[in-house]
Amino acid sequence: MGRNRSDDMPEDESGDEIGNGVTLPDDADLVDAADLAAVPERLKAGTEIIAGFVRNLPNAPGVYRMFDAAGDVLYVGKAKNLKKRVGQYAAGRAHTNAVARMIAETAQMEFVTTGTETEALLLESNLIKQLRPRYNVLLRDDKSFPYILLTGDHAAPQITKHRGSRQRKGDYFGPFASAWAVKRTIDALQKAFLLRSCSDSYYDNRTRPCLLFQIKRCAAPCTGEISLADYGKLTDEARDFLSGRASGVKQELARRMQQASGDMEFETAARYRDRLAALSAVTSSQDINTQGVEEADVFAIDEQAGQFCVEIFFFRNFQNWGNRALFPRADRNLPVAEVLASIIAQFYDDKPAPRLVLISHEIEDIDLLAAALSARMGHKVEVAAPKRGEKRDLVEMALKNAREALGRKLADTTAQTRLLAALGEAFGLERPPRRVEVYDNSHIMGTNAVGGMVVAGPDGFMKAHYRTFNISTDTTAGDDYGMMREVLTRRFSRLVKERAASAVTDFVAAQTGGVDTSLQAERSNDDPVEEHIDQAAFPSAPDLVIIDGGKGQLEAARAVMTELRLLAIPLVAIAKGEDRNAGRETFFAAGREPFKLPPRDPALYFIQRLRDEAHRFAIGSHRARRKRDTMTNPLDEIAGIGPTRKRALLLHFGTLKAIKRASLEDLAKAPGVNLATAKAVHDHFHEG
C-alpha cells in the first residue's frame, strides 16, 4: 500500500502509480564537487539498470525491492503486474522529486512473484516493517502493544502483562494502548479476583503467603490458603469479565454480598463489596464505551504543516481499551488516504486484527486490504469508512484526538525551535542549529569506560539518534581527554566517510526545483521556525557540538576536528559552575574568552537540560556495561569450557576463587574434566 499519487504520474491498467509511498531520504552532508559532476550519469545509469530488469519480468503480481550501490534497500513496492509497474520507472516520463532521487540511486533490484495481489500486499508490508526502506512510508514508534495474559499452563493460572509473540498457552486480552492501562487493569483485577501475579518459580518455592495475601491482592494458592478448585472459579470469573461478560460477574458478586450480609457474615460481605468496587473502577475508567461495537480498531489520520498523525482507538468487549497516537514518516505531498492505507497494512503485520477496522478516509483497494487482513487472521476482517451512526461517531472522536495530538506536537516543535534559535544566538552561530550533539563520558577509575552521545533537534531529544561508545582498553585509565578523543574520532570519521552520499539528492533537487537538504542549505535557511522538520529530513551532521568538560576537553575535541578537517562545525565546552551549582557554568569556545550566560537566560536552562540528559545517558550506559561485566564468569573466556564443565568445576571447588588457586592435578580430579581441559583452565589463571 502507501502509493504516492500525483497528477503527472503515469498509471498502469490497474490504476496503480509508480513511486508508491515515496518519502524524502535522510540527508547526507559534506558533498565533494567531484561527486556532483558524476550525478547526471548516475541518474541515467539508474534508469538503464531498471530498464534492464524489465525485459525479463513476468506479467504477474509480486513485490520488488530497489537497492543502492551500498546494498541498502531504498524502496519496497507491490504490483499487480510487475512488468508494467517496474517499466514505468524506466519510461522516461515525469517523476516527482523523490521518485527521481530514488531512481538515480538505484543500483540493483530484486523481485518476488506471488500468486495473488493479496499475497503481494502481505509480503510488501512485512518487508517494509523488516527493512525500513528510506523511501517508503514508515510506521514510527511502533513498539509492541501490551496484553493481559491469563496463563493456561499451570494449575494456578497467573495474571500478567505480556508483549511480543503469543506463544505461551493461555488467554490473551487486548491490545491495550499503554503499559499503564494494563497495570491499572491488573491491579483492579487482583483486588477483584485475588489472582496471583508472581512467576511460576516464585510460586513453587513459597512456604508461607507473601505480602499480597496480607493486603488482599492474592488468594495464596501457593500455600493452600485456597484450594485449586476454588481458585479455578476465581480464574473463570476473571476470564468472563475480560471476555465482555462484566455485568453477569458483577451481578453474581452483588448476590453473594447480599447473601453474606443476610447471614450476618459481615466480613465476607465487606470483601465482596471491595471486589465490586474494584470492578467498578475498571469499567468506569473507560472514557468511551460502545453499545453496538463489540470489537473494533478505529484509525483516524490528520495532516498539518506537512506532518501526519494517526490516532488508533482499541475497542474490545464493548469497552474502550485506550488509544495511541503514531507519527509516521512520509512525504508531505502524499494524500492522507494513501498514508493511512500504508500504515494500516504495516500495523497488522505482527499484530492480530479485530473483525472490524474503522477508518476516517476512503482508501483505494479497500477490498484488497480487507482480503489481506482476513487471509492473515483466518477469519473475515471488515475494513470500512462509516458515514453515519455510532461507528461514525467513534471515527470522529478518533479524528478529533488526532488533530489535538498533532497540534500539541507541532506546538512543542515550535517551542523547541525557539530554544534552538536562542542557543544559536547565545553561541554566536550564523543560523539556529537543527541538530545539536552533546557528549559525555562515564567510568570508574578508567574501568568500563563508556562515551555517550545525545542528540536534540526541533522535535526535542531524538533518542533514535543516541549512540554509546565502548571506549577501548588502550586508553590510559582515567584519561578523560583521551577518552573524548576516541569517541569523537569514531563518530566523525564515520561521518566523513559518508560525505559524498548526498550528491544525488543535491543534483536532482537542483534540476527539479526541489528542496536542497544538504548541510549547506540547512545553514542558509532564513526562517527555521516556519517549517516543522520531519524526521526524514533530520540532518546527519551536527550544527553544534557541546562537550561536557572544560578547556582541556575543548582542545581535545578541536584536535580531532582539525585532523578530520571539520572545523566548520562549532564546538562548545561547558564546565560546571562554582560548587557544581547549576546556573554558574562557564563556557569555552574557540576564538573567545571563557564566558557565562545570564542566570535566567532561556538558553542556559536549555543547555542544562542537554548536559543533564547526556550525563544521565552516559551514566546509564556505564552502569549497564559494568553490570554485564560483573555477571560475566571468567570461565566463559576459556575455549572448551561449556555450561556442563563450568557447572562441574563450580560444584567441585565451590567458588571461582578456589578454581583459580587449584593446582593442575586438583583440576584434573574434578568430575567430567580431562587433563587437556584442566591444563587450559590452569594456564588461563596462571599465565607464564
- Whether 589 maps to a domain, the answer reads yes
Q: Output the pLDDT for position 27.
A: 39
Q: Are residues 452 and 567 in the same domain?
A: yes
Domain identity same for 323 and 442: no
Q: What is the pLDDT of residues 455-481, one digit of tens each?
A: 998 888 888 889 988 887 555 566 788
Counting other chains too, the contacts that 227-232 makes at CB distance below 8 Å and 24 or more residues apart are 228/155, 228/156, 231/156
| Domain containing residue 678: CATH number | 1.10.150.20
Confidence tier at 363 by pLDDT (50, 70, 90): confident
Boundary (domain end) residue, out of 599, 629, 659? 629
CA separation for the pair 503, 38 (Å, rounded): 9
Is 19 among the domain residues?
no
362 & 434 share domain: no
Is the confidence at residue 436, as pLDDT, over 90? yes
Does the residue 256 lie in any domain? yes
CA dist., res. 684 & res. 664, Å (int): 11
Of residues 344, 350, 358, 340, the one with CA closest to residue 376: 350
Domain check: are 123 and 211 in the same one? Answer: no
Using CA atoms, how far apart are residues 81 and 99, in angstroms rounded to an integer? 19
**How many residues in the chain?**
688
pLDDT band at 301 (very low <50, low <70, confident <90, very high): very high
Say if residue 636's pLDDT is above 90: no
Q: Which CATH number belongs to the domain containing residue 460 in this structure? A: 3.30.420.340
- Burial label, 137 (beta-carbon count in 10 A; 0-12, 13-18, 19+): buried
Q: How many domains does the chain have?
A: 5
152/126 same-domain check: no
Radius of gyration of the chain (CA): 31
Coil, helix or strand for 44? helix
Of 579 and 108, the structure prediction assigns the larger pLDDT to 108
Domain boundary among 378, 408, 438: 408
Give the pLDDT confidence score for residue 359 in this predicted structure: 92
Q: Which residue has the cell 487493569?
A: 185
Give pLDDT, residue 579. Answer: 57
Q: Which three cell numbers stand for residue 428?
A: 554566536
549 and 638 together in one domain? no
Which tens digit of pLDDT belongs to each residue from 238-267? 887 777 666 677 777 788 788 888 878 787
**Residue 197 confidence (pLDDT) above 70:** yes
Shared domain check, 456 and 602:
yes
Strand order in the sheet with 382-384: 319-326, 307-316, 295-304, 356-359, 382-384
If you average pLDDT over every residue of the chain, what do you get?
Answer: 78
Residues spanned by the domain of 65: 33-131
Percent of the chain with pLDDT over 90: 7
Q: Is 519 part of any domain?
A: no
Instruction: Judge whether 399 and 406 are in contact, CB under 8 Å.
Output: no
193 close to 171: Cβ distance less than 8 angstroms: no
| pLDDT, average across residues 402-407 | 87
Residue 88 has pLDDT above 90, yes or no: no
Provide the CA 451 distance to its chain's centre, in angstroms: 22
Specify the pLDDT at position 454: 93
Q: Specify whether 37 is located in the same domain as 114.
A: yes
Q: Quick: pLDDT tens for 46-79.
A: 888 888 888 888 888 999 999 988 888 889 999 8
Weakest mean pLDDT among 174-178, 552-556, 591-595? 174-178
Q: Which residue has the cell 533518542?
A: 463
CA–CA distance, 395 with 312 (Å, rounded to integer): 10
Q: How far apart are CA 25 and CA 48, in angstroms?
A: 22
Name the more confident of 221 and 410: 221
Are 485 and 578 members of one domain? Answer: yes
The whole-number average pLDDT for the span 294-319 is 85
Bond before 175 cis per omega within 30 degrees: yes
Q: Which residue has the cell 518459580?
A: 201
Task: Specify the pTM.
Answer: 0.61
Let me know whether 388 and 375 are in one domain: yes
Looking at residue 16, its amino acid is: D
Phi first, then psi: give them for residue 347, nearest 5 degrees.
Answer: -60, -40
Within-domain flag for 510: no
**105 and 53 share a domain?**
yes
Task: Evaluate whether residue 596 is within a structural domain.
Answer: yes
Residue range 81-107: mean pLDDT, rounded: 79
In tens, the pLDDT along 12-30 reads 433 343 334 444 344 333 3
Strand ranges, E, within 265-339: 295-304, 307-316, 319-326
- Boundary residue ending a domain (230, 258, 284): 284
Q: What is the largest CA-CA distance in the chain?
A: 94
482-540 pLDDT, tens digit each: 888 889 998 998 888 776 544 444 444 444 444 333 333 333 333 332 333 344 467 88
For residue 3, tell me if it sits in a domain: no
Query: Residue 352 belongs to a domain with what CATH number?
Result: 3.30.420.10
Number of H helices, E strands in the chain: 23, 18
What pLDDT, on a 0 to 100 scale, did the predictor assign at position 583? 62
Is the predicted pLDDT of residue 320 greater than 80, yes or no? no
Cα–Cα distance for residue pair 330/134, rounded to 1 Å: 10
3-state SS assignment for residue 468: strand
Quick one: cell of 608? 542544562
Q: Give, to the nearest 10 degrees, the angle between helix 246-262 and helix 266-284.
A: 160
Same domain, 168 and 198: yes
Q: What is the CATH number of the domain that holds 37?
A: 3.40.1440.10
Q: What is the pLDDT of residues 648-670, one digit of tens each?
A: 888 888 777 788 888 888 888 88
Is 423 among the domain residues?
Answer: no
Least confident of 17-26, 156-165, 279-288: 17-26
